Amino acid sequence: MIAKQLGSGTLLVLLALVSGCGFQLRGEVELPAVLQDTYIESQDPFTGIARPLRAQLERSQVNVLETREQASAVLKIVSERSENRVLSVGSRGKATEYELYDSVVFSLADASGKQLIAPQTLSITRDLVFDQNELLGKLTEADSIHRQMLESLARQVLMRIQAALDKP
């Protein structure tokens, strides 16, 4: 009984501390009205950052259009890169640690083609300890980390757009 009360009390204290520091659960990003009907211009709209970007926009109540004719804004993916770099090598000359790297260059224009946001670059890196004995599992883990990184980059793109267009 006391342990349960102590656990509840501890939980309440932690919640108060977390809310006091400004922590918020991730929700949709409130985007400017110009993005109401957005077209994503990308070399491949079904791979890379385009997919998580589409999902993030839709969660923020944006209509993502298949053609640019009716769009109020065009979010252009100028370029994107995803790579694995060797960070350290073991005594046998095999890689033991990798740096996973993803970057995106994007810009935003309105329906008339007026540039609202000049091309900007965002990037993210993560480290991955690699074990040759667990090759399949580590490759799957690397793919999963890259997907998470793209989700994070997509959110950063929207937050950058929100910050740039909400300026008075």
Q: What is the pLDDT of residues 124-144, one digit of tens each?
A: 999 988 776 666 677 788 889
Report the mean per-residue pLDDT for the chain.
83
Rounded Cα gap, residues 75 and 106, in angstroms: 7
> What are the distances in angstroms from CA 34 to CA 15, 89, 135, 147, 150?
37, 49, 46, 28, 24
From the options 1.10.760.10, 3.10.580.10, 3.30.160.150, 3.30.360.10, give the CATH code of 2-165.
3.30.160.150
Q: Work out the number of other CB atoms within 10 angstroms of the CB of residue 31.
A: 21
Strands 37-41 and 73-89, sheet pairing = parallel
Highest averaged pLDDT of the listed ranges 21-30, 45-54, 83-92, 119-128: 119-128
Domain borders along the chain are 2-165
Tens-place pLDDT, residues 95-104: 788 889 999 9
